[in-house]
Chains A and B, each alone.
Chain A
């Protein structure tokens, strides 16, 4: 689009023979080089393109220009007349016929820049030896390159108390700050968390926070990375190393399905810090604090370092790999032949590890009983994933980060991006700032929705399918329907080119929702993408670690698809579609074929879609990376695993399941192995091992060896081999199974479900609005927060300090009915127990109460005995709360 024309000696810009200027472009001269630039481009960028580096501190390509530091001064001539003073190249836009002289060709610009450095250093402390930025500091580098060797400053420097903690993770040393405002502009423009700002004037000017509001942003770590001096540092990395000590590896974050590119720096065998790596397609230059700071968990004391087997006394004892392999192989073979083995893999697997599990289950264990979902799930979800998601790529689905920026509208269903996929949130916010309308279907207008200037389409938890069905129909919503105007607008937008529907993994919690989403996308033509929370889920789906789908999205039930895999693997595959996590756990230890676990296992159990499945008693389990508190009913899961005849567990750190296992294998954490994740877009995110010398093995390698012990070859010795084996299979091009539930039957199912939760399809929201909610109980809404005490956050207390406080959210009307104010305590009561939390009055539907899905590391649905969309009671929790409320 833009072209660079370098005509020697072309100081007069309009010589004959110059290429013509394309429309929307201008021709200017920088340091004697004629260049054509698009209108509106900043001089500093144009100069960059032709290889002229103008020094800068405040300028950042992803932030709006501000001209705060004055380091980029250049001499500019317009129409033959020099401008009276040097101009800031980072705010000056190009113009036709402009002549720019940078420090390379203008003594005035050179002097201006040198003087500005001296000025910036007036109050800058001599901190380089003790400053974390030393060695990679733009200020240090520029002063060494262009600054004066001596200072003319004779007076004492201005001093500030150093450092002050703007949050538990971020420390601010105001003496070092050059007031470039990159941090404040990032927080305001990119993250939307304006907790940090410029205070005071003159020489007292400084960055600061409102003392009542710490810098509680999920993205605060980015300010450290873009601060051009060492004014912002992290508690975690403080004084840990110098840049030259560090060995950097290009990695990818293992904490969520956003798939951020990262740089992992290590020193002496330990990771010291992680930074966001630039990837314009995915995370641009940012990442979230979880990805940046949550890495010490691999060093926790409960790390499993040696294989263990259970000895005669029932104690787990360390043993050799050979011994553990033969015990595991023997036990799994026996269990396979006496009822079968189920495979549960959690959300942390790389694609190749998941592929090894999928292949191991089919070939060594001869079963399709494998499920990567360690959370609320449903058969409907499995069908949806197999039909609509597996094997998709940004190209094939048309949904990508870049597509969001150009979308005609984005509808979020069962998705709270800031909590569940933080970088997706940043991109949505960027899109919304460019005018892309964002809609969220749900019960709460959250703060992040406000940050995306989004519109809430109200739906009581459990009622979402009705709203989607209404949107899918061509009839306009009448005046009586809540949010009628926004609904009609959204309905129209969804039918335009480029509309995108993003559905979160929580959609599995509401029966009929995924089918409704699927149908909406089909009817309106909107592109559809599924956004899981954890990094490994999407890759596990593509690798076939699910009972109904083989690698590449091949349906198990399709003989042609099976035959393709059989040819590639050279072995026959089991035909029966596998059970899901709930089905596997329910089938453990059941001997009689018709002794089915009761389909109604209480509200905390899984959805009741397993009643019609034949139950074979599973004799063994292979469990990798499943965290018990992620499961909807930990007690049931624990009992099932305890009753299983033979359990093999592959884990990084000791867990409730390794305690029960017969054989435990230690596995490599993400930093210790190479591999790839697949992010929510379906994009492969390969990464290298930061600590390959750690002496740990990845799961694909362990399963490969275990396979050999069981007379099966998996060809997954190395991630490269496994990836190649998987690539040979490719993606299924044949017909996909339809989503499970027949579209035309669906509304009846909806209605039945809606009635069970006390909401008829027609009046769902209206009834709640009438205030019946509090009497009949509240409908529970819930999702997991970004920082919620998960085990991946262990070992980094400073990060945990920036977690958002746990609150119960109620609408103003409901709070008034209950007589509570912000900060008062309320008890949320489910059938099993109650949880007491302070109230935060939120703009949301009446009759709904929201609480975090995990508090103190324990899942709340399991604790309450109530799932999302179930009824719970909410009562004011007495005087203590009232007193606390008065304090505010």
Chain B
């Protein structure tokens, strides 16, 4: 132990003043995370507003933390929420459990489930951290229509097989509305409410 030790400590402090700052000015100026950051989940929509989720529970199955609860149900002619026969009637993610691993995203067969960059998932109430379907669904963009409504883009096949094409058409038709970071959905020209 040398008598210079206390001064050495000041030296570290002094030197740090000339290095770039690593702290962030949260919450005044929150920083954008990396584009592929594993933030809050989102349930995406087809260009006409129908939900992409088919209630298959594969995300729930894949989840190592058992954070997802899904219940499927029948689409009927009177009430259609997604193309095809089945939709997710009840969808919940428990953010007290989620470890942000993204395995659910890998599992989703319809690209319904993706992750956004939103990371502000803290609360002092358990109940509020169980996100329900209405909180997870992507916002309705211009040209989208709140389900239930009939398939506006053709038959079920068109939604899946011609998805990219419909998307291109939409992009060519005009400037894109602001897309949520993690989704590629755009309003479709044919998706206008009738």
Contacts and interface: CB of A to CB of B under 8 A. Distances in A.
B57 A130 contact: no
A162 interface: yes
B142 interface: no
Given A129-B110, A239-B73, A162 B85 contact: yes
A240 B57 contact: no
Given A130-B54, A130-B56, A130-B85, A238 B74 contact: yes
B54 A129 contact: yes
B86 A239 contact: yes
Contacts of B58: 129
Interface in B54-93: 54-58, 60-61, 71-74, 84-86
A129 B58 CA distance: 7
A242 B57 CA distance: 7
Contact of A239 (B60, B61, B74, B109): B74
A712 to B, nearest CB: 48
A18 interface: no
Nearest to B75: A239
Contacts of A238: 74
A-side interface size class: 10 to 19
A301 B71 CA distance: 22
A163 B84 CA distance: 11
Contacts of A135: 61
B116 to A, nearest CB: 23
A134 B73 CA distance: 15
Contacts of B74: 238-239
Interface in B113-154: none
A238 B86 CA distance: 9
A128 B61 CA distance: 13
Q: Which of B54, B57, B60, B84 has the most CB of A within 10 A?
A: B57
Nearest to A162: B85
Q: Is the interface of A mostly helix, strand, loop or mixed?
A: loop
Contact of B72 (A128, A162, A163, A240): A240
A130 B84 contact: yes
A873 B68 CA distance: 65
B157 to A, nearest CB: 8
Contacts of B56: 129-130, 134
Interface in B21-66: 54-58, 60-61
Interface in A232-246: 238-242, 244-245
Nearest to A239: B72
A135 B72 CA distance: 15
B136 to A, nearest CB: 18
Given A239-B55, A239-B74, A240-B72, A130 B86 contact: yes
Interface in A115-160: 128-130, 134-135
Q: Which of A129, A134, A162, A244 has the most CB of B within 10 A?
A: A129
Contacts of A163: 85
B107 to A, nearest CB: 9
A563 B74 CA distance: 62
Q: Which of B55, B58, B84, B85 has the most CB of A within 10 A?
A: B85
A132 to B, nearest CB: 9
B190 to A, nearest CB: 23
B159 to A, nearest CB: 13
Nearest to A163: B85
A245 B84 CA distance: 23
A113 B54 CA distance: 32
B57 A245 contact: yes
B122 to A, nearest CB: 28
Contacts of B73: 239
A242 B107 CA distance: 15
A175 B24 CA distance: 56
A242 B85 contact: no
A240 B74 CA distance: 9
Contact of B61 (A130, A162, A240, A242): A242
Contacts of A240: 71-72
7 contacts: A129-B54, A129-B58, A129-B109, A130-B84, A163-B85, A239-B73, A242-B60
Q: Which 9 A-B pairs have the closest CB atoms?
A: A129-B56, A239-B72, A130-B86, A129-B109, A242-B57, A239-B86, A130-B54, A239-B73, A129-B58
Given A129-B109, A130-B84, A163-B85, 14 more contacts: A129-B56, A129-B58, A130-B56, A130-B85, A130-B86, A135-B61, A239-B55, A239-B73, A239-B85, A240-B72, A241-B71, A242-B57, A242-B60, A242-B61
Interface of B: 54-58, 60-61, 71-74, 84-86, 109-110
